[in-house]
Structure 1
């Protein structure tokens, strides 16, 4: 049964500290910095982890992006499509103003915010969401499919 996508095999979750998750959901941050290469491609649930990167709140780029936004934690707040993963070549300018040198940059596209955050637990690395969590996301984004 090659090519058959079982329920949940087409989507993964990624846990990101706030305010970075909100910057992605707002549509401004199009990459996520990670220490390792991610070979997986496809849809990602954007999970705002329990922790907040307090130092990031003082960065002008972040402050402008999150102004007036809730910084929900411990919940899925959006969905994106992971289209690629790269590192900037040594000595080259960063691919975006959000890129951190020496990190792998997960390339995110087709970001959609959820109207209502869905409380959930995440974990490091790409994680497989439960069928119940996927069903809750599809209630808000019924057109979302593999």
Structure 2
């Protein structure tokens, strides 16, 4: 895919998540990411931070989702689309077993795992990928169409 075929403007952001949550998203098990603030819908690069939440590996929900998967850190590992961002109303059961009460729930769909992780630095909050990083990611997804 060349830059000519990409949408114009600010169409993609990066999101950094700790492992093992990144692996759970790539496995298709974790379809909700929790955040303290509202995010807009649209495409995101899935970046795994350098931090691994070791205690999360002891929870059955996480352990089942990531069994046999590598916990790559410090890299873009895929692309996904945020299709919705909401908070569950008080007193209503969570929208997902992964949803934290009071958090904004980013609903993830159309997850595309990269064959090879692309080393990169992320940051807190939504971040703009530099063109070189985006090009290296999209080279691995020749059939991806935003």
Decide: shared fold, TM above 0.5.
Answer: yes
Task: Could you tell me which runs of 5 or more consecutive residues in structure 2 were left unpaired when the two chains were aligned.
Answer: 1-6
Q: CA deviation at 1:55?
A: 1.2
CA-CA distance at 1:143 after TM superposition: 2.5
Within a 5 Å distance, the mapping from 1:58-137 to structure 2 comes to 58-137=58-137
Q: CA RMSD in A?
A: 1.1
Are 1:29 and 2:30 an aligned pair?
yes
Structure 2 match to 1:5 = 8
Cα deviation for residue 42 of structure 1 reads 1.2
Runs of 4+ aligned residues of structure 1 deviating over 3 Å after TM superposition are none
Q: Which runs of 5+ in 1 are unaligned?
A: none
3-state DSSP class of the match of 1:68?
Answer: coil
TM-score, normalised by the number of residues in structure 1: 0.92
Q: With the length of structure 2 as denominator, give the TM-score of the two structures.
A: 0.92
